[in-house]
């Protein structure tokens, strides 16, 4: 080891692996400055193994400084701060760090560290005690303090992870369909999310019981009639997503899924006129069938009420398919959630237009285990009745489907990844319907259906009855028959299992 002093700096020449970790070095300057709680955004958060810590800081010439004594204490390192001589000595597994006020030098194990980052000596004015005597820039932590303390340091934007702490990536997305805004959050690990709504209704906060999270984006570039902003916030070390909302939002609904790794927040506007129709009592069911599904069952189901808006679907005697499917879907959702504990997301909650590919997109974004599209049929023969369960059939032979795990799947080929599971569920559903409604024939068919083409999960469409068969229509419009349909579908979902990897 060689130590050579010259014109205020000493060349660092220590050999060994540790040296590389101290590559950045610091010069000391004397200044009078005060540390404050971080008012500037975004605040720096240090995640230690004991928990998060938000240090006070001072901003000087565009550089953010932290109190070194504070840092040393948080890292649990013994130190000596000799005010008379102006020498700070810190000991750690990585060596002995010495800062001399008058040097100005920073040495490690007696070897000077070449200066290219400033360290400030305030003489104790800052922070009211010794905490603010020495100020170091944020980079001091990964460059010097971490190696000194023998603690691995990782920095994610304004987050410093000190120690072997598990981080969890976070993705956020937002979209609007059929008058409902959905904010989807995806966490790589199971978490608990609690929704809070400010009394004035202007803000929805999703508190996440996991930290540190590493967000892909700090804030979504998204605005609509209901949402002003969606941003991640962990400025106090606790993870939350803050959704600033407009007065349009009437209610907020949280739908967990994917083993509590995906959460969909539905921001629903003021009640639609159909709400009155839906006030019909939910179907009765025996108490002994109430049970929570096990983890190998369907956890997130997307129900798609067919048609909507100008597209009324088929119609007869003043009854529109779009209204019938919405009533059925909403009643079905209530029953499934109550009996099975499955999270249910509706692609539309009111009467509005929604493209088929948007329906599939909602299911894909929600990471649903299953999508079920509800329709009412029609036949040129008004005496025909019954129902059909459809699975997707390609409109063209086309090229071979991509192999499983391929990074890119053409949009209209997405269904191929779960074709076998879709067919299995279609048969399960047909059997359940045939058993629950034995007077109706049910068949499984293939068709090139737009709503199924782009779904990345098992997906089927069911058509119930024929609208132009007066008997079918009367039955479908009544709650008693609807209950039988709902019971049969619930039983099919109870018996369904999410798919494993498929060969396409």
Which residues, numbered 177-196, are part of the site for another protein (CB under 8 A)? none
The rounded distance, in Å, linking the Cα atoms of 62 and 137 is 11
Q: Which stretch binds another protein (CB under 8 A): 8-16, 56-64, 375-383, 490-498?
A: 375-383
Count other C-beta atoms under 10 Å from residue 166's C-beta.
10
Q: Is 258 in the site for another protein (CB under 8 A)?
A: no
Which residues have a Cβ under 8 Å from the Cβ of 433 and sit 6 or more positions away? 387, 389, 440, 442, 462, 485, 488, 489, 492
Minimum CB separation of residue 490 from another protein in Å reads 23
Q: Is 317 in the site for another protein (CB under 8 A)?
A: no
Q: Which stretch binds another protein (CB under 8 A): 61-69, 94-102, 288-296, 395-403?
A: 395-403
The rounded distance, in Å, linking the Cα atoms of 494 and 481 is 20
Q: Is 472 in the site for another protein (CB under 8 A)?
A: no
The rounded distance, in Å, linking the Cα atoms of 128 and 263 is 45
Q: Is 244 in the site for another protein (CB under 8 A)?
A: no
Distance of CA 236 to the CA centre of its chain: 20
Among 355, 470, 471, 478, binds another protein (CB under 8 A): 355
Q: Which is nearer to another protein, 106 or 457 (CB)?
A: 457
Minimum CB separation of residue 453 from another protein in Å reads 5
The rounded distance, in Å, linking the Cα atoms of 375 and 377 is 6
The rounded distance, in Å, linking the Cα atoms of 254 and 129 is 47
Instruction: Give the H/E segment covering residue 335.
Output: helix 321-340
B/e letters for 127-151, b = 16+ CB within 10 Å, e = fewer, are: beebbbbbbbbbebbbbbbbbbbeb
Which residues, numbered 7-46, are part of the site for another protein (CB under 8 A)? none
Among 3, 5, 228, 445, binds another protein (CB under 8 A): 445
Instruction: Residue 159: name the closest of 150, 169, 149 by CA.
Output: 169
Q: Is 393 in the site for another protein (CB under 8 A)?
A: yes
Among 176, 197, 238, 423, binds another protein (CB under 8 A): 423
Q: Is 307 in the site for another protein (CB under 8 A)?
A: yes
Contact, 431 vs 486, CB < 8 A? no
Minimum CB separation of residue 391 from another protein in Å reads 8
Q: Which stretch binds another protein (CB under 8 A): 16-24, 114-122, 127-135, 306-314?
A: 306-314
Instruction: Kindly list the distances between the CA atom of residue 302 and the CA atoms of 137, 305, 378, in Å, as whole numbers in the listed order.
Output: 50, 10, 24
| Burial of 383: CB neighbours in 10 Å, binned 0-12, 13-18, 19+ | exposed
Q: Is 259 in the site for another protein (CB under 8 A)?
A: no
Among 72, 204, 449, 486, binds another protein (CB under 8 A): 449
Q: Which is nearer to another protein, 47 or 390 (CB)?
A: 390
Instruction: Residue 495: name the closest of 426, 420, 416 by CA.
Output: 426
Instruction: Kindly list the distances between the CA atom of residue 116 and the CA atoms of 14, 26, 63, 357, 501, in Å, as whole numbers in the listed order.
Output: 18, 5, 13, 56, 53
Among 59, 447, 470, 478, binds another protein (CB under 8 A): 447
Q: Is 450 in the site for another protein (CB under 8 A)?
A: yes
Among 14, 182, 315, 475, binds another protein (CB under 8 A): 315
Q: Is 416 in the site for another protein (CB under 8 A)?
A: no
Among 190, 207, 446, 474, binds another protein (CB under 8 A): 446
Among 26, 140, 412, 425, binds another protein (CB under 8 A): 412
The rounded distance, in Å, linking the Cα atoms of 11 and 19 is 12
Minimum CB separation of residue 377 from another protein in Å reads 5
For residue 170, the 8-state DSSP code is E
Q: Is 453 in the site for another protein (CB under 8 A)?
A: yes
Q: Which stretch binds another protein (CB under 8 A): 100-108, 125-133, 190-198, 438-446?
A: 438-446
Minimum CB separation of residue 358 from another protein in Å reads 10
Minimum CB separation of residue 410 from another protein in Å reads 10
Q: Is 477 in the site for another protein (CB under 8 A)?
A: no
Q: Which is nearer to another protein, 269 or 387 (CB)?
A: 387
Which residues have a Cβ under 8 Å from the Cβ of 212 and sit 6 or more positions away? 45, 47, 52, 156, 159, 161, 165, 167, 168, 234, 239
3-state DSSP assignment of residue 69: helix
Binding site for another protein (CB under 8 A): 306-307, 311, 313-315, 321, 355-357, 375-381, 384, 388, 390-391, 393, 395-397, 412, 423, 443-451, 453, 461, 463, 466-468
């Amino acid at each position: 080891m060689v130590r050579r002093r010259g014109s205020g700096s000493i060349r660092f020449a220590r050999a060994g692996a540790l040296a590389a970790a101290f590559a950045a070095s610091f010069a000391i300057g004397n200044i009078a400055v005060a540390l404050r709680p971080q008012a500037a955004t975004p605040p720096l958060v240090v995640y230690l193994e004991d928990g998060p810590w938000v240090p006070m800081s001072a901003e000087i010439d565009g550089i953010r400084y932290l109190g070194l004594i504070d840092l040393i204490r948080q890292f649990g390192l013994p130190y000596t701060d000799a005010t008379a001589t102006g020498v700070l000595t810190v000991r750690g597994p990585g060596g002995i760090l010495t800062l001399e006020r008058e040097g100005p030098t920073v040495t490690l194990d007696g070897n000077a560290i070449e200066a290219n980052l400033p360290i400030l000596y305030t003489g104790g004015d800052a922070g009211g005690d010794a905490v603010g005597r020495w100020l170091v820039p944020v980079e001091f932590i990964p460059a010097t303090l971490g190696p000194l303390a023998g603690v691995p340091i990782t920095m994610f934007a304004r987050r410093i992870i000190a120690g072997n702490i598990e981080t969890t990536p976070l993705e956020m997305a937002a979209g609007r369909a059929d008058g409902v805004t959905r904010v989807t959050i995806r966490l790589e690990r199971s978490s608990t999310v609690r929704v809070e709504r400010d009394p004035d209704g202007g803000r929805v906060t999703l508190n996440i019981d996991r930290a540190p999270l590493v967000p892909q984006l700090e804030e979504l570039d998204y605005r609509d009639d209901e949402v002003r902003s969606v941003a991640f916030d962990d400025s106090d070390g606790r993870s939350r997503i803050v959704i600033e909302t407009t007065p349009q939002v009437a209610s907020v609904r949280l739908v967990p899924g994917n083993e509590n790794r995906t959460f969909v927040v539905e921001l629903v506007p003021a009640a639609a006129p159909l709400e009155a129709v839906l006030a019909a009592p939910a179907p009765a069911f025996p108490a002994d069938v109430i049970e929570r599904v096990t983890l190998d069952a369907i956890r997130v189901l997307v129900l798609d009420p067919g048609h909507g808006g100008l597209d009324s679907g088929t119609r007869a005697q003043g009854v529109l398919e779009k209204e019938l499917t919405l009533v059925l879907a909403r009643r079905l959702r209530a029953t499934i959630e109550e009996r099975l504990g499955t999270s249910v997301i509706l692609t539309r909650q009111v009467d509005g237009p929604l493209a088929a590919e948007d329906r599939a997109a909602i299911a894909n974004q929600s990471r649903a285990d299953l999508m079920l599209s509800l329709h009412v049929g029609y036949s040129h023969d008004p005496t025909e009745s019954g129902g059909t369960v459809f699975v997707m059939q390609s409109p063209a032979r086309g090229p071979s489907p991509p192999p499983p795990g391929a990074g890119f799947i053409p949009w209209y080929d997405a269904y191929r990844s779960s074709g076998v599971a879709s067919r299995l569920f279609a048969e399960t559903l047909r059997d359940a319907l045939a058993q629950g409604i034995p007077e109706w024939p049910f068949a499984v068919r293939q068709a090139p259906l737009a709503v199924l083409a782009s779904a990345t999960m098992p997906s089927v469409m069911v058509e119930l009855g024929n609208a132009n068969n007066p008997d079918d229509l009367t039955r479908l419009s009544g709650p008693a028959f609807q209950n039988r349909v709902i019971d049969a579908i619930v039983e099919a979902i109870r018996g369904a299992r999410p798919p494993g990897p498929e060969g396409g």
